[in-house]
Copies of this chain bind each other. A is one copy, B any other.
Amino acid sequence: MYTDEFSDTIIALSTSQGVGAIGVIRLSGSKSVEIVNSLFSGKNLAKQASHTIHLGKFVYHDQVLDEVLVSLFIAPSSYTKENVVEISCHGSPFIQQKILEALIDSGARAAKAGEFTMRAFLNGRFDLSQAEAVADLIASDSEASHKSALQQMKGGFSLEIKKLREDLIHFASLVELELDFAEEDVEFADRSKLKTLIDEIVMVMEKLIHSFKLGNVIKNGVNVVIAGKPNAGKSTLLNALLNEERAIVSEIPGTTRDTIEETLNINGILFRFIDTAGIRESVDVIESLGIEKTMQKIETASVVLYIFDVTTTTAEDLRMESETLSKNIPLLLIGNKSDKASLTELENKFYGFENMIFISAKQLTNVDQIKDKLSDIVLDKSVNVESNIVTNIRHYEALNACRGALQNVLSALDSKTTTDFLAQDIRYALNALGEITGDITTDDLLDNIFSKFCIGK
């Protein structure tokens, strides 16, 4: 279904910025072969077959810029279903810039972020949620996020939604037909069959909406804020947590300058441990209900690990401190230095607290229990990681909108309201479903989605 809709030929550096052995510049559009051919000294590219590679010199204004390999993908056998040319050049940012400039001078236009994938979508290569999965795949940084992006690229839940949407369209058209014959008071759409279908769709929606909690965790990772008084053993705990898997530990500069994040992969999910220096340095802050900044950090957390020294903390202290910390965020209490007392003693002392683990960070006792507990808190056991999971907040919102509209349809059916209201609610639901798969799009929506891609994809 190759279309000639886009008259211009777009171009971008498709590999990441920076010095490397090679860099790849990609063109897409009806003139891409012609444009590259005009700057290529070697075989006549216009006469070569699709999926072939050609060595030659890239020459601009009689000056050789580089020796390059040119790969040809002739429409529709390409990513965008247009003519695509990839130029593999030496990985010097200077050379890449020169080649890009020469190609733009010769008629190509610098691509916007995601524009290649947008063309692929508009030319029918895949639906919108599959296109979005391409960006997720590129951004994937853990086993689970990688798997869910691939699943979504294969079609994922959008196939299921497409099917349900078609069934609903069938009923919608019957309901709309009733509107045309409003004065005759006929019912073309079988109300009980419609109700059954909508019940089914709502059930699917709810399953998918429910999966978003996990999907979000898979896609974005889990922020774990570690809090605690000085000398509670916070750094020792962090080291203990990271120690075993040192190989996959990395230091990522935080979004703010004063925090360092340490990441740890637990069961395929990325956990980011955020060391709130603010809390550490100002003991009194926590006790006096905290400073705004500290609390802000905690509010971005999915889980708070609160570590305390079992030998110096009373149950009353802990109750006060933990009440201050936890609002809606799961709190895991870590009683450190548990080697200095018996377990029975500790259990008596801190009787009645939930989510508490006694450890010895120094002796590495029970540290694995923390990992298991973190997994438990985050992973929804009722959702199978292998199944279709919603990871995209746009889909989540559309699913919620659809469920809301369908629930209105259901109450309209129950209360036997007029057909126009029923028809309108069905239209809302169809719209929300169509937005997920891209059957219904607006320019704004597309711009918004593809602007989040990287340039060159």
Using a CB–CB cutoff of 8 Å, the interface residues on chain A facing chain B are 12-24, 26, 51-54, 64-67, 71, 73, 86, 88, 90-95, 98, 116, 134, 137-142, 145-146, 150, 153, 453-457
Contact = CB atoms under 8 A, between A and B. Distances in A.
Contacts of A139: 19, 92
A396 B90 CA distance: 25
A142 B94 contact: yes
A148 to B, nearest CB: 13
A40 to B, nearest CB: 15
Contacts of A22: 14-15, 24, 26, 456-457
A71 B16 CA distance: 20
B20 A16 contact: yes
A90 B454 CA distance: 12
A387 to B, nearest CB: 16
Given A92-B137, A93-B141, A141-B93, A15 B19 contact: no
A95 to B, nearest CB: 7
A147 B152 CA distance: 47
A153 B64 CA distance: 12
Given A24-B88, A141-B92, A141-B94, A16 B14 contact: no
A217 B325 CA distance: 60
A12 B150 CA distance: 24
Nearest to A145: B94
Nearest to A91: B138
13 contacts: A15-B22, A20-B454, A21-B116, A22-B456, A51-B53, A90-B134, A90-B138, A91-B454, A91-B457, A92-B140, A92-B146, A94-B146, A95-B146
Contacts of A53: 51-53, 71, 73
B19 A138 contact: yes
Contacts of A15: 15-16, 20-24, 91
A141 B454 CA distance: 24
B457 A21 contact: yes
A24 B456 CA distance: 14
A43 to B, nearest CB: 10
Contact of A20 (B14, B65, B90, B93): B14
A66 B454 contact: no
Given A20-B456, A51-B53, 4 more contacts: A14-B22, A16-B23, A20-B454, A21-B455
Contacts of A134: 90
A90 B51 contact: no
A19 B20 contact: no
Contacts of A453: 21
B20 A66 contact: no
A118 to B, nearest CB: 13
Contact of A18 (B18, B52, B64, B88): B18
Contact of A16 (B18, B52, B67): B18
